[in-house]
Amino acid sequence: MAGTVIYQAHPAMFRAHPFWFILFVLLIAAFGLGLLILLYWYIKTRATTLTVTEHELLYEKGILSKERLSVSLRHVRSVQINQSFVNRILGVGTVEIATAGDEPEFAVKDMPDPHEIREAISRAQAMRGDD
């Protein structure tokens, strides 16, 4: 029961870690090692996805093996956004999804526009009437 996709994103690369990104680009010219690191980093970010549908949140990560977690929107109790000062300037952050327990169900680091994710979850819950 996937439903209509309301929001979908992958972690950011440059916006989340601009210093490392520039360093690895410079390593391409120096040793070629930077290309391998950037390629691995790119594949890793593309292999991590947070999707908000009209019924649930889907979190997938993994390159060779996959970890998939789905949480019904009716069970989402809170969405916490954590951003350092630099993260706020660059527009990225960590999104923590909590259900009934004390600990977050899962956390996704380096997500672009994390407040947009929280708003998408709120919109999806309002569409279902799950306030």
**What type of residue is 128?**
R
pLDDT band for 130, please (50, 70, 90 cuts). Answer: low
**What type of residue is 12?**
A
Q: Decide if 47 contacts 59 (C-beta within 8 A).
A: no
**CA dist., res. 39 & res. 25, Å (int):** 11
From the list 119, 76, 122, the residue with the least C-alpha distance to 101 is 76
**CA dist., res. 6 & res. 120, Å (int):** 7
pTM for the structure as a whole? 0.86
CATH architecture observed for domain 5-128:
Roll (2.30)
- Tens of pLDDT, residues 103-114: 889 999 999 999
Residue keyed to tokens 């690895």: 24
- Tens of pLDDT, residues 52-99: 999 999 999 999 999 999 999 999 999 999 999 999 999 999 999 999
Q: Decide if 25 contacts 34 (C-beta within 8 A).
A: yes
Q: Decide if 95 contacts 118 (C-beta within 8 A).
A: yes
Domain boundaries, the chain: 5-128
